[in-house]
Amino acid sequence: PHAPYFQGQRNARYHEVAMKLLAEGKVYPDYMPPETIEAARKAADAAKKPYVHRSPDRDVSAAENLARYQANPTILRLKVPLD
């Protein structure tokens, strides 16, 4: 219980919790290409406005997002309130 631990040794637990959050609709898979995100960041910077990421995948139902993620895993983003 007090041995040195390495983050990689807990991957199964992290995956379990991530799948629970995904099923509950608290996170969502983001399939936006990095180039699209970077272009939006640069546009916000040029407009001197803060960048706020709004993926179209955010508002998909939890069940559909879970099925999509299981078919094609990608990064998961926390769903934060819009206001």
pTM metric for this prediction: 0.80
Query: What does the pLDDT look like over 2-43, one tens digit per residue?
Result: 777 787 888 999 999 999 999 999 999 999 999 999 999 999
pLDDT tens, 32-67?
Answer: 999 999 999 999 999 999 999 889 999 999 999 999
Residue 77: Cβ-neighbour burial (10 angstroms; 0-12, 13-18, 19+) = middle
Residue 68 has pLDDT above 90, yes or no: yes
Identify the pLDDT of residue 9.
Answer: 83
Tell which residue, 71, 72, 78, has the closest CA to residue 22.
78
Residue 1 scores a pLDDT above 70: no
Look at residue 6 and give its three-state secondary structure. Answer: coil
